[in-house]
Amino acid sequence: MKKEPFVTLEKLNEITEKFPTPFHLYDEKGIRENAKALKEAFAWNKGFKEFFAVKATPNPYLINILQEYGCGCDCSSETELMMAKAVGCKKGDIMFSSNDTPEKEFRYADEIGGIINLDDITHIESVEKALGKIPEVISCRYNPGGVFKISNGIMDNPGDAKYGMTTEQIFDAFRILKSKGAKEFGIHAFLASNTVTNDYYPMLAEVMFELAVKLQKETGAHIKFINLSGGIGIPYKPDQEPNDIRVIGEGVRKVYEEVLVPEGMGDVAIYTELGRFMMGPYGCLVTKAIHEKHTHKEYIGVDACAVNLMRPAMYGAYHHITVMGKENEPCDHKYDVTGSLCENNDKFAIDRMLPKIDKGDLLVIHDTGAHGFAMGYNYNGKLKSAEILLHEDGSFEMIRRAETPRDYFATFDCFPVFEKLLQDEDELK
């Protein structure tokens, strides 16, 4: 089975003449088409809004594209809040879903018009202390515990997750918040990750809608929105069938009309916080084969490493690889495709059947548009790569430059050693 890259070898050769590998490349056309499809899938809900999970791909250029389709930002830290403000998010455009949150971050989120989504009942006290009040609009994160099942089996185990309130706690939280001045409420839940099934969101929606009805009846709180969060996944493997967002949207609509509308709650807005689904398939890591090694196994060494894409090393996650220009050649060579970190798990593929790879070949590692660049780090003193945006007309531009040694050493800039660390930088360029 094959995956088709969104870029041709001819175009990659053009890009690499200007920007050296490795780099993350994003497909503007795919991003736009997907954002439009999501908006259309939930157009039946007057208040629908997607709050893009900034943590997935924290790049202002890409967020700006999503804003053209009405998307806001889901943030989980102070710096993500700062980015949301910088790209022009206004009141109601930011959802602040964090955990173990410093009080100053609650304060900043409120100052810039963010909706605070409480992860725990004890955070009510923290928010009140930070703001001197409880906001009039507030949300609570729900975790029913146990395992989350749909017709084709267990999807995930929220009972082991650190996030959210128990059923009893969320009822208590609503009562407390209402008594302290909250006027409009939201509920939020993330019960399964990276689901590749059209059934997940409708099943989650049923759980959340039934909870909303009970909360409104028993606490008197007005439910303004229900946030289905993320969890809609992407097909990393070529034999997986992708989700159909229009089928998913219709499934949620059906449950909405069965559960909420008869209870007089047909004005409840549906929110989503998708990251992987919004960006994952529309980014790839472009890297070059620079070494080959023949020992107990066959190894291909590339100029990228886990610094550029951590998921395979961290989770054993599968990312499909295309050897550009050899798409139609037989996959008759078994390789471990490795990076240069001093860690044996720094491998993009293990025992992967691929065409014969020669030094200088360009490899496209698929589906890195979310949780790819964002999870990078600087182990072994490795520097993070550039990010490039491929426009619909075939032009391209750098939307984040690659790190330099000066960036790596920047936190020493208040010490005398800083200049010594940089004295060789120009020579090494």
Q: Same domain, yes or no, for 82 and 151?
A: yes
Q: Same domain, yes or no, for 270 and 293?
A: no
pLDDT at residue 160 in the model: 80
> pLDDT tens, 158-180?
778 788 999 999 999 999 999 99
How many domains would you assign to the chain? Answer: 2
Q: Same domain, yes or no, for 293 and 212?
A: no
Q: Which amino acid is at 382?
A: K
Q: Same domain, yes or no, for 321 and 391?
A: yes
Mean pLDDT, rounded, for 414-427: 81
CA–CA distance, 81 with 88 (Å, rounded to integer)? 11
pLDDT at residue 156 in the model: 66
CA–CA distance, 225 with 223 (Å, rounded to integer)? 6
Question: How big is the chain by its Cα radius of gyration, in Å?
Answer: 23
pLDDT at residue 275 in the model: 97
pLDDT at residue 427 in the model: 61
Q: Where are the beta strands (DSSP E) in 60-105?
A: 72-75, 94-97
The answer to whether residue 62 is domain-embedded is yes
Is 342 known to be catalytic? yes
The answer to whether residue 424 is domain-embedded is no
Q: Same domain, yes or no, for 124 and 249?
A: yes
Q: What are phi and psi of 75, to 5 degrees?
A: -120, 150
CATH code: domain of residue 247 = 3.20.20.10
pLDDT of 146 above 90: no
Please give the mean pLDDT across all residues of the chain: 95
Structural contact between residues 353 and 331, judged by C-beta atoms closer than 8 angstroms: yes
The answer to whether residue 420 is domain-embedded is no
Structure-block tokens of residue 426: 């120009």
pLDDT at residue 426 in the model: 63
Mean pLDDT, rounded, for 80-85: 97
Provide the residue range defining the domain that includes 228. Answer: 28-278
The answer to whether residue 18 is domain-embedded is no
The answer to whether residue 348 is domain-embedded is yes
Mean pLDDT, rounded, for 360-389: 97
CATH code: domain of residue 384 = 2.40.37.10
Residue 140 Cα to chain centre, angstroms: 21
The answer to whether residue 418 is domain-embedded is no
CA–CA distance, 56 with 26 (Å, rounded to integer)? 13
The answer to whether residue 303 is domain-embedded is yes
pLDDT of 304 above 60: yes
Mean pLDDT, rounded, for 193-220: 95
pLDDT of 149 above 90: no
CA–CA distance, 109 with 246 (Å, rounded to integer)? 32
Q: Same domain, yes or no, for 140 and 222?
A: yes
pLDDT of 394 above 80: yes
Q: Same domain, yes or no, for 33 and 152?
A: yes
pLDDT of 152 above 60: no
Q: Same domain, yes or no, for 270 and 368?
A: no
CA–CA distance, 321 with 304 (Å, rounded to integer)? 13
Share of the chain above pLDDT 90, in %: 91
The answer to whether residue 4 is domain-embedded is no
- Selecting among 71, 73, 75, 342, the annotated active-site residue is 342
> pLDDT tens, 333-349?
999 999 999 999 999 99
Q: How confident is the model at residue 157 (pLDDT cuts 50, 70, 90)?
A: confident
Q: Same domain, yes or no, for 195 and 181?
A: yes
Q: Same domain, yes or no, for 346 and 228?
A: no
pLDDT at residue 153 in the model: 60
